[in-house]
Amino acid sequence: MFEGKAWSVRVRLTVTAVVMALISGAAITAVATAALYGLSGAFKTEEVAGAAMQTARLSWRGPLPAVVPKGKSDGIQVLDAAGRIVATSSNLVGAPPLTDFLPPGSGTTHDRRVCDFPAFPGECVRVVAFRVHREGGDLVVYSAAEPVPWYVHPGLFAVILGASLLTVLMSGLSAYRTVGAALEPVRAIRRELAEITATDIGRRVPVPAARDEIRRLAETINQTLDRLETAAERQRRFTSDASHDLRSPLTAMRAQVEEALHYPDDVDWKAKAHAMLCSLDRLQAIVSDLLTLAKLDSGVPAHYERIDLGTLAGEELDRRKQRVRIDRDLKPGVTVLGDRLRLARLLTNLVDNAERHAASRVSVSVSRGRDDDDGGDGGDGEGTAVLEVLDDGAGIAPDQRELVFQRFTRLDASRNRDAGGTGLGLPIARDIALAHGGTLRLEDSALGARFVLRLPLSSLPGPRSGAAAGTTAGTGPGTGSGGEDGPPGGPPRP
Q: H-type helices in 122-212, by residue range?
A: 154-198
Average pLDDT over residues 311-338: 91
Helix (H, G, I), strand (E, B) or coil at 282: helix
Identify the pLDDT of residue 347. 93
Q: How many CA atoms lie within 13 A of 221 on its CB side?
A: 24
Q: Which residue in 366, 348, 229, 232 sits closest to 292, CA to CA?
A: 348
Average pLDDT over residues 438-463: 84
Identify the pLDDT of residue 414. 45
What letters, b where the CB count within 10 A reaches 16 and e where it falls short, cover 382-399? bbbbbbbbbbbbebbeee
84, pLDDT greater than 90: no
475, pLDDT greater than 70: no
Helix (H, G, I), strand (E, B) or coil at 46: helix
Using CA atoms, how far residue 231 sits from 81, 201, 225, 227, in Å, is 107, 11, 10, 6
Identify the pLDDT of residue 472. 33
Check residues 478 and 105 and name the one with the higher pLDDT. 105
Q: Which residue in 238, 387, 418, 382 sits closest to 309, CA to CA?
A: 387
Classify burial at 367, counting beta carbons within 10 Å of its beta carbon; exposed 0-12, middle 13-18, buried 19 or more. middle
Check for a shared fold between 10-154 and 299-469.
Answer: no
Arithmetic mean of pLDDT over the chain: 79
282, pLDDT greater than 80: no
Strand partners, 32: none
Classify burial at 132, counting beta carbons within 10 Å of its beta carbon; exposed 0-12, middle 13-18, buried 19 or more. buried
Identify the pLDDT of residue 194. 80
- Please check whether the domain covering 299-469 is classified as CATH 3.30.565.10: yes
Average pLDDT over residues 93-109: 81
* String of DSSP letters for 197-234: HHT-TT--PPPPSS-SHHHHHHHHHHHHHHHHHHHHHH
DSSP letter (8 states) at residue 327: E
Check residues 330 and 474 and name the one with the higher pLDDT. 330
Cβ atoms of residues 450 and 390 within 8 Å = yes
Q: Where are the domains of the chain?
A: 10-154, 299-469
Identify the pLDDT of residue 5. 58
Task: Give pLDDT tens digits for 111-144.
Answer: 888 887 776 777 788 888 888 887 777 888 988 8
Average pLDDT over residues 277-285: 79
Going 196 to 197 to 202 to 206, the CA torsion angle's sign is: positive
**What length does the chain have?**
494
Using CA atoms, how far residue 450 sits from 251, 308, 350, 390, in Å, is 35, 22, 10, 4
Average pLDDT over residues 178-192: 83
Average pLDDT over residues 343-361: 91
Average pLDDT over residues 100-117: 79
Using CA atoms, how far residue 241 sits from 118, 298, 414, 415, 422, in Å, is 110, 20, 19, 17, 11
d(CA 230, CA 238): 12
d(CA 103, CA 133): 12
488, pLDDT greater than 60: no
Identify the pLDDT of residue 336. 94
Please tell me the pTM assigned to this model: 0.48
Q: H-type helices in 358-461, by residue range?
A: 425-435
Going 292 to 427 to 243 to 289, the CA torsion angle's sign is: negative
What letters, b where the CB count within 10 A reaches 16 and e where it falls short, cover 335-345? bbbbbeebbbb
Q: What is the CATH number of domain 10-154?
A: 3.30.450.20
Helix (H, G, I), strand (E, B) or coil at 98: coil
